[in-house]
Amino acid sequence: MNLQFFKTITDIRFSMLKIAVTGSIASGKTTLINQFKKYPRFDADSVVSKLYKTKTIKKKLFKRFNTSNKKTIAKKAFSNKTDLIFLQKLFWPSAIKELKLFLSKNKDKTTISEIPLLFESNTEKLFDLIILISCSKPIQLKRLQKKGFSQKDSLNRINSQRSLKTHAPKADILINNSRSISSLKMKAKKIIDSLSVI
């Protein structure tokens, strides 16, 4: 089934779990997190999208890229490591602040958070359980191109991320999502059913 538990959920003695979902681009993080319907959810990408619209951020982006258009900036950043690091330093502090606020507001509830750059932002310590989702590179490429990205842009996005081999040992659950959506939903159900026994 390509679902590996390294820490059995029933061994975690918490009544209210803080769960993080992370993984490579186009691996199915959002599809997975959307299966956890009864839990409060945090989406780091949505927070970043909102930040793009603020005057302070727009000003800094325009100064750096001569534009504040998200798609144009992303295209430049994913092909230039220096630009990518600039964006991370610009957005991470505010995004992490929003994450901590969300966790604080829901401290008495089990929550699930989608954090694409969980380990890179050093926020893994905020969570009790980490789910790492991945898929094969050809599948990533196919999914990104289906979303309208060119092959070059897709490869730039894929290659901008660290190998998951460096992150896998830090995760509690590994999911390979190289198959169908129905297969992923079955894996999500298995995790959700495990949560219900706590």
CATH node for 3-195 = 3.40.50.300
d(CA 192, CA 38) in angstroms, rounded, equals 10
More confident residue, 157 or 2: 157
Is pLDDT above 70 for 103?
yes
Is pLDDT above 90 for 9?
no
Q: pLDDT of 173-194, one tens digit each?
A: 999 999 999 999 999 999 988 8
161: Cβ contacts below 8 Å, ≥ 6 apart: 24, 25
d(CA 195, CA 198) in angstroms, rounded, equals 6
pTM higher than 0.75 for the full model?
yes
What does the block give as tokens for 34? 């959307």
Share of the chain above pLDDT 70, in %: 91
d(CA 159, CA 162) in angstroms, rounded, equals 8
Is pLDDT above 90 for 197?
no
Per-residue pLDDT, averaged over 27-45, amounts to 95
d(CA 128, CA 142) in angstroms, rounded, equals 33
Q: Which strands sit side by side in the sheet containing 173-176, from one edge to the other?
A: 3-5, 173-176, 129-134, 18-23, 111-114, 41-43
Round the average pLDDT of the chain to a whole number and report it.
Answer: 91
Backbone angles phi, psi at 130, to 5 degrees: -120, 125
Residue 164: the pLDDT is: 84
Residue 162: the pLDDT is: 85
Per-residue pLDDT, averaged over 83-96, amounts to 96
What does the block give as tokens for 164? 């998951």
Answer whether 176's CB lies under 8 Å from 135's CB: yes
